[in-house]
Structure 1
Amino acid sequence: MLEFFKQLSLIKRIVIGIIVGGILGVFLPQWSFIAILGSLFVGALKGIAPLLVFVLIMSSVSKHQAETQTFIKPIISLYLFTTLLAATVAVLASYIFPLTISLQEVSGSQEAPKALIDVLTTILNNIVQNPLQAMIDGNYLGVLFWSALIGFALRTRKNSVKEVIDEFSQAITGVVQLVIAMAPFGIAGLVFDSVASTGLSGLAQYGRLLLLLVGTMLVVDLIIYPLVAFVIIRQNPYPLVWFCLKESAIPAFFTRSSAANIPINMMLAKRLGLTKESYSISLPLGATINMGGAAITISIMTLATVHTLGIAVPFSLTLMLCVLSALAACGASGIAGGSLLLIPLACSLFGISNDIAMQVVGVGFIIGVVQDSVETAVNSSNDLFFTAIGEFSDLRKRGEKINLKERLAEK
């Protein structure tokens, strides 16, 4: 049995972990120790990911030659454009299917940004945070900034120094691969914890809202994003879409953390044969600014509140909501529920008080068992998707031919 399990691909092992975790959660919910496997797995990924990103970027930048191809600009442009596009689709969906929600009292108090300037200030402060503290906090903007600076400084050092750094980055990569190999057990623990503690009964009264959120994310992920990719690379993008969904979205769905999924995306980018100098920067950056799923959540939850309160919204204000949701989503942290605390920021655009907005945040946490999982899967899998599309589009402009089917068939 063990040998058979070892011969299976990682994704098949994960599927087995999902089934086993679900069965144990239904029939043996008292076995709470199983949930520890999930918390250990996510904790290990979150712990090693900042160090992995730091050493990979530092190594890549220090060895970078002027003639080496990188594709960062088109990738970042795709991140920003598609996040805005996702917010626009969410606003349209909210007008086609207007929903109201039952707002209840939310116990406790949570801080939320009051204005866009607060979000921008936080982002800028995160960039210059102490590099050690940035790795401890999982602040990838700070990790990117300092690792790139140190990498540039190392470009003038001896090759022997660069080789040591490269060897160290390879060692950290090996540790990450070991952690990822434990994914089936970790995900079994995560599924067990979800089924045993919450199930789906708590979602019943918010089913329509959840359906609109998840449905919009699926439309964006399966129709809008592939359409954008087709326009850019002039090829059928769905082989790559299915690859990203199967290999990246499933782990992200259960970890509910874009940051925790960075090592997995790094491994997949290498399998796709992408340029290390590009994906070592674009993937951790995507976990911070490529937040289409978060933009959808912010827009739909805000407009559901608007409809509940009966506020008349002019078209010009909805356009502002699209832009604001996209910008706010870029400031969402790459952790479970990271987008929910930015809902009050969008609500303030319509003059909705923070007390009411925080009640909406409470609703978000109730449906977050499914909503946040799907949101993270959309966000993180498309970090990989747009990193690949950005590189392929740049290669196409330079006259190089990319055949997606052949490239994926080799993997």
Structure 2
Amino acid sequence: MKGLINKWNKISLVKRILIGLIIGIILALTAKDIASPIVIFGSLFVGALKAVAPILVFFLVMSAISSHEKGQQTNMKSILVLYLLGTFLAGLTAVVGSFIFPTTLTLVEGAKDVVPPEGIVEVLKSLLMNVVDNPVSALLNANYIGILSWSLMLGLALKNASSSTKLVISNVSDALSTVVRWIINFAPLGIMGLVFNSIATQGIESLLSYGHLIVVLIGCMAFIALVVNPIIAYVYMRENPYPLVFKCLKNSGITAFFTRSSAANIPVNMKLCEELNLNKDTYSVSIPLGATINMAGAAITISVLTLAAVNTLGIEVDMGMALLLSLMSAVSACGASGVAGGSLLLIPLACSLFGISNDIAMQVVGVGFIVGVIQDSCETALNSSTDVLFTAVAEYAKNRKEKKGA
């Protein structure tokens, strides 16, 4: 038995999830009578994610803010602007794409009993009240906006704390990330249960309906990688950006697609930056930073799945709310965990803008894990390759200005 478990763990997570997906479909079509034992796997998986997500976000953000230190004078200001601009435009692109190609999801009965907000004023009022929510209450009730605001404030307050205090916070953050990895390892069983329950209760059409969701997600990511990012690069460099774009996608994106972790792809990106003859003082900081906050793919995932939930519940979205979602998706994406499926844990934050409860939001997260076999790989490939792209663009732009000035 131990040997079988070791062999199973050696299989990549993507393949294991795919196996769970296939088994769930087969069981749903051939053995509906064993529903209870199978469905419980999906419930346990979602429940575990629901429990760990709030405290994970709290410590990740607090650790990142408190440990930040000023380094040497580099291109970091330009790179940071590119990271934030790219992430925001990705969220905006996803919102526009979701309006053009609206997507709906299959939710359990009772999920539609949601009172939609009347407009942007109500959304902003709710947002402000959630910001000042009691921190303990925010954690207990999964108020992600409150969690984010308190973690930011505590992180800033702890910047002058002793190194031992920061180390403790960092260790807790790392431990929580490890716990998430353990939970993610049970994703194949969880997906099997979720798919089984979806097909057994709704029919095979519910799974086929995810094809439209996948096309919208991947289409938005491809548009960012092949259109938006090259435009940004051209504006900065004033030269054909596609040789650099394709090199980053090939050397960084392909490996990230299979590792499904921006953090795990840092050594690959470091080597690529060296091949591009970039400033080591810059990329040694920008690449690890990008693995944390440069999350265009995550912003797309958050926006598309949130609007899919909004469309499913029949909530009207005006232009102001759409722009607010784009901004919130970008902010949420910057706090996404560095583990597989991390962006999905931030969906409840965006959903809360529209008055969608955490229970319903976690159902959307479950849908995200079902399509995550493709979505998360493409998301990580976009995120990681863009880290190198924007680092190179900032340096090439600086060199161009220096040559022009000389």
Match of 2:330 in 1: 326
Q: Which runs of 5+ in 2 are unaligned?
A: 14-66, 110-138, 159-164, 176-186, 196-203
Deviation at 1:104, TM superposition (A): 3.7
Which whole-Å CA distance do the structure 2 matches of 1:118 and 1:377 have between them?
A: 28
Deviation at 1:270, TM superposition (A): 1.1
- Is the 2:82–2:390 Cα contact (8 Å) retained in structure 1? yes
Q: 1:219 aligned to 2:220?
A: no
Q: How does 1:340-359 map to 2 (within 5 A)?
A: 340-359=344-363
Q: 1:114 aligned to 2:150?
A: no
Match of 1:267 in 2: 271
Segments ≥4 residues shifted beyond 4 Å: 110-113, 123-129, 135-139, 200-203
Which whole-Å CA distance do the structure 1 matches of 2:147 and 2:282 have between them?
A: 30
Calculate the aligned-residue CA RMSD, in Å: 3.2
Which whole-Å CA distance do the structure 2 matches of 1:367 and 1:81 have between them?
A: 27
Match of 1:163 in 2: none
2:10 to 36, 54, 60: 36
1:130 to 150, 166, 171: 166
**TM (normalized to structure 1)?**
0.64
Q: 1:373 aligned to 2:402?
A: no
Q: How does 1:169-188 map to 2 (within 5 A)?
A: none
- Identity in percent: 51
Shift in CA distance, 124/252, structure 1 to aligned 2, threshold 3 Å: farther
Deviation at 1:122, TM superposition (A): 3.1
Which whole-Å CA distance do the structure 1 matches of 2:273 and 2:375 have between them?
A: 26
CA offsets, 1:75-121, max 9 Å, x none? 0110001111111110000000011111248xxxx988524342243
1:309 to 313, 319, 322: 313
Which whole-Å CA distance do the structure 1 matches of 2:167 and 2:294 have between them?
A: 22
Match of 2:32 in 1: none
Q: How does 1:125-274 map to 2 (within 5 A)?
A: 130-131=166-167, 134=170, 137-138=173-174, 204-274=208-278
- Is the 1:138–1:259 Cα contact (8 Å) retained in structure 2? no
Deviation at 1:332, TM superposition (A): 0.7
Match of 2:17 in 1: none
Q: Which runs of 5+ in 1 are unaligned?
A: 1-29, 40-56, 140-192, 402-411
CA offsets, 1:236-278, max 9 Å, x none? 1111111111111111111111111111111111111111110
Match of 2:340 in 1: 336
Q: How does 1:97-112 map to 2 (within 5 A)?
A: 97-104=101-108
- Is the 1:112–1:344 Cα contact (8 Å) retained in structure 2? no
Shift in CA distance, 70/328, structure 1 to aligned 2, threshold 3 Å: same
Shift in CA distance, 123/291, structure 1 to aligned 2, threshold 3 Å: farther
Shift in CA distance, 299/247, structure 1 to aligned 2, threshold 3 Å: same
Which whole-Å CA distance do the structure 1 matches of 2:149 and 2:280 have between them?
A: 29
Shift in CA distance, 352/83, structure 1 to aligned 2, threshold 3 Å: same
- Is the 2:144–2:348 Cα contact (8 Å) retained in structure 1? no
Number of aligned positions between the proteins: 289
Deviation at 1:126, TM superposition (A): 6.2
Deviation at 1:386, TM superposition (A): 0.5
Helix, strand or coil: the match of 2:243? helix
Deviation at 1:124, TM superposition (A): 5.9
Helix, strand or coil: the match of 1:341? helix
Deviation at 1:288, TM superposition (A): 1.0
Deviation at 1:71, TM superposition (A): 1.0
Which whole-Å CA distance do the structure 2 matches of 1:249 and 1:243 have between them?
A: 9
Aligned partner letter, 1:131: L
Q: 1:79 aligned to 2:87?
A: no
Aligned partner letter, 2:170: A
1:95 to 93, 99, 121: 99
Deviation at 1:203, TM superposition (A): 5.9
- Is the 1:74–1:394 Cα contact (8 Å) retained in structure 2? no
- Is the 1:257–1:335 Cα contact (8 Å) retained in structure 2? yes
- Is the 2:217–2:375 Cα contact (8 Å) retained in structure 1? yes
Match of 2:132 in 1: none
- Is the 1:112–1:342 Cα contact (8 Å) retained in structure 2? no
Match of 2:280 in 1: 276
Aligned partner letter, 1:279: Y
Deviation at 1:298, TM superposition (A): 0.6
Which whole-Å CA distance do the structure 2 matches of 1:356 and 1:37 have between them?
A: 32
Shift in CA distance, 304/38, structure 1 to aligned 2, threshold 3 Å: closer
